[in-house]
Amino acid sequence: MSYPIICDGDGVQFGPMFGTRQVVLVEPAFIRGSGAITVMGRKACVAGDESQQQWAAQYFIPGYTPGSGMVSIEMLDGSQVTPCITAETSLILQGTQFTARFTLTSPAVMSEAPYTPDGMAVGMGRGCFIPQQVFVRAG
């Protein structure tokens, strides 16, 4: 199956749940591409571009004050990369869903005594790419 190629400036969307945390990005997420080829005037994203970026977020747990952290792409799904046939690196495709990571920077704290902070440093979730173009495909 072929999927649209992901390019510089395409959207990144994360599911709301990272374990028991409801995570909300502080602002919209976009991926930055560094590929040698361009699609409709924008650099294509290549494998490795996803691991160079992270996005600020707040998180919520019932009975706690909000906390904050960073969301990143942990691992692409096999449907989200092209095989390396003639190029040195794989292109990133829309594909299905990638694995995402939420890393705590400021813990949520219980809103009542004993005011214990959230102790879980990392939570895993899922996400997907939102391409701006759908005509140039690979797979």
Within 28-121, strands assigned E span 29-30, 38-39, 42-43, 54-60, 67-75, 98-106
- Of all residues in the chain, the percent with pLDDT exceeding 70 is 97
Please give the model's pTM, rounded to 2 decimal places: 0.92
- Of all residues in the chain, the percent with pLDDT exceeding 90 is 90
Strands 29-30 and 11-14: antiparallel
- The overall average pLDDT reported for the chain is 94
pLDDT for the residue 121:
87
